[in-house]
């Protein structure tokens, strides 16, 4: 679809109704995708029993997280396919395609027979489904954040972008809430026999809803302007230019995404299994704590996004890096203390620090790249970093604890990520209130243009 944003000389004047629809559709679609993706983490212990041979519980958990991590290994491939495609045919079409593939991969997991039924074929089919999920997700976050960033007025990009991660948290809460409810209502035998399939089978109808939302989107004004400038209907940029021509921005992207995703997957994906598998915490209570932390993050998220528009992205991201460097060890010691108040306090502190990243990154990352390569370059940088560092976090930390016996490894891992992220934010330029690179200034309604 063509964008209906108005144009004035040197300025894009966006229709507030179109902006609202774009943000809602991107965020809701992201919530649908991350409901599917997040359920896998919250029910990891049960999946280990279903898909892998009985024996050592740690080995089962490692195998389950291995399949989880495998999906991240193909994310760069997905990014290299969907990202450049999004820069050629449009953001909206690619976002609809990733929605279809993600829902299909998740729905398929719910249909796979157990290891007890078909033997080694079960984990192989699980791996194939996870690879489909990972490939499609390679174009998801970069596309959704690019879509919102290119629609948002310059002065409100942080606030509007923060709703993307609001949708992610809503998806995680939906997945965690459903797993928690099933854990509370079903016996362990019923959960292992058939209950675990329910969240994955829900992906079918949810995918249809998400696809409908994304097909109703209009193309972004920035991409429409780029097409209008091109000699043909579609701007064509070699993949080489997306990498070598943007090497500095790509390195900054990798560093920022590293601290963002290591801490994100540590808290939201690994901690439920850490509480139950390593600390022998009650499974239902552990999931409820994580659910409460995510609800707290959702409440704070839009306010933190608006804060990045006022004080800048760099100060907010830097605060998160400093907080994880200083508070990771105290927070984990509180969690290890084991009482519900201590666990909630430690997890809550980490969750509020994580908001510094979830609120700022959706607007900071697209601003690293010019319009003609934004989707492609961001997809490559984002997914390389997530694949190497973020998605492997549960597997690496579980293995480190198993090898060293040191239960503080999660804290040390987050501290190392904070150092890398701190260096990246030190080197990045401030983007708050300024036009996206390669795009005209963007304002809402009849707000006067102020170029940064």
Residues of the chain above pLDDT 70, percent: 88
pLDDT digits (tens, 9 = 90+) for 363-419: 999 999 998 889 999 999 998 898 888 878 888 888 888 889 888 999 999 999 999
pLDDT at 236: 62
**Is residue 112 in a domain?**
yes
Helix residue ranges per DSSP H, 312-405: 313-337, 340-364, 374-385, 393-404
For residue 39, the domain's CATH number is 1.20.1250.20
Residues of the chain above pLDDT 90, percent: 31
**Is residue 444 in a domain?**
no
Domain extent at residue 66? 11-431
Give the three-class secondary structure for 8. strand
**Is residue 436 in a domain?**
no
**Least trusted range by pLDDT, from 13-22, 191-200, 343-352:** 13-22
CA-wise closest residue to 137 among 73, 230, 189:
73
How many independent structural domains does the chain possess? 1
**Is residue 271 in a domain?**
yes
**Is residue 374 in a domain?**
yes
C-beta separation of 87 from 375 below 8 A: yes
C-beta separation of 44 from 61 below 8 A: yes
Residue 1, pLDDT above cutoff 70:
no
Residue 306, pLDDT above cutoff 70:
yes
**Mean of per-residue pLDDT scores for the chain:** 84
Strand order, beta sheet including 6-8: 6-8, 11-14, 442-444
Residue 323, pLDDT above cutoff 90:
yes
pLDDT at 238: 62
- Separation of alpha carbons 76 and 322, rounded Å: 29
**Is residue 31 in a domain?**
yes
- Separation of alpha carbons 185 and 292, rounded Å: 19
The predicted model gives 152-169 an average pLDDT of 92
**Is residue 218 in a domain?**
yes
pLDDT digits (tens, 9 = 90+) for 312-321: 999 999 999 9
- 240 vs 3, residue with greater confidence: 240
The predicted model gives 231-239 an average pLDDT of 58
C-beta separation of 45 from 276 below 8 A: yes
The whole-model pTM stands at 0.85
pLDDT at 440: 66
**Is residue 384 in a domain?**
yes
């Amino acid at each position: 679809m063509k964008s209906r944003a108005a144009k004035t000389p040197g300025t894009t004047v966006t229709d507030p109704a179109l902006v609202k629809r774009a943000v809602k559709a991107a965020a809701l679609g992201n919530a649908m995708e991350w409901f599917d993706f997040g359920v896998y983490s919250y029910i990891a212990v049960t999946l280990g029993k279903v898909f892998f041979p009985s024996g050592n519980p740690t080995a089962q958990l490692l195998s389950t997280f291995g399949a989880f991590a495998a999906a991240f290994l193909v994310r760069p491939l997905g990014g290299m396919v969907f990202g450049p495609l999004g820069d050629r045919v449009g953001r909206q079409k690619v976002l609809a395609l990733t929605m279809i593939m993600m829902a299909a991969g998740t729905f398929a997991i719910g249909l796979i027979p157990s290891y007890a039924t078909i033997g080694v074929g079960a984990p192989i089919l699980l791996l194939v489904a996870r690879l489909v999920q990972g490939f499609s997700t390679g174009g998801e976050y970069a596309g959704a954040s690019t879509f919102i960033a290119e629609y948002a007025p310059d002065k409100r990009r942080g606030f509007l972008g923060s709703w993307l991660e609001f949708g992610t948290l809503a998806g995680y809460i939906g997945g965690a809430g459903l797993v928690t409810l099933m854990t509370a209502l079903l016996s362990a035998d019923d959960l292992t026999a058939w209950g675990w399939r329910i969240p994955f089978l829900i992906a079918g109808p949810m995918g249809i809803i998400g696809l409908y939302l994304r097909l109703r989107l209009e193309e972004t004004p920035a991409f429409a302007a780029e097409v209008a400038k091109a000699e043909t209907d579609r701007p064509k940029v070699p993949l080489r230019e997306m990498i070598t021509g943007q090497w500095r921005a790509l390195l900054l992207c990798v560093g920022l995404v590293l601290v963002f995703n290591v801490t994100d997957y540590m808290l939201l994906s690994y901690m439920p299994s850490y509480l139950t598998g390593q600390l022998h915490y009650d499974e239902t209570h552990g999931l409820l704590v994580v659910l409460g932390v995510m609800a707290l993050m959702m409440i704070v998220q839009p306010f933190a996004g608006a804060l990045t528009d006022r004080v800048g992205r760099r100060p907010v991201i830097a605060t998160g890096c400093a907080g994880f460097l200083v508070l990771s060890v105290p927070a984990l010691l509180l969690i290890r203390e084991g009482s519900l108040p201590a666990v909630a306090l430690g997890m809550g502190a980490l969750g509020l620090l994580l908001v510094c990243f979830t609120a700022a990154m959706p607007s900071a990352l697209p601003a690293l790249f010019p319009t003609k390569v934004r989707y492609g370059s961001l997809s490559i940088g984002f997914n390389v970093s997530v694949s190497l560092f973020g998605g492997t976090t549960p597997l690496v930390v579980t293995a480190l604890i198993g090898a060293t016996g040191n239960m503080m490894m999660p804290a040390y891992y987050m501290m190392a990520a904070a150092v890398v992220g701190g260096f990246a934010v030190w080197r990045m330029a401030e983007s708050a209130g300024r036009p996206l690179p390669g795009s005209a200034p963007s304002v809402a309604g009849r707000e006067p243009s102020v170029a940064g």
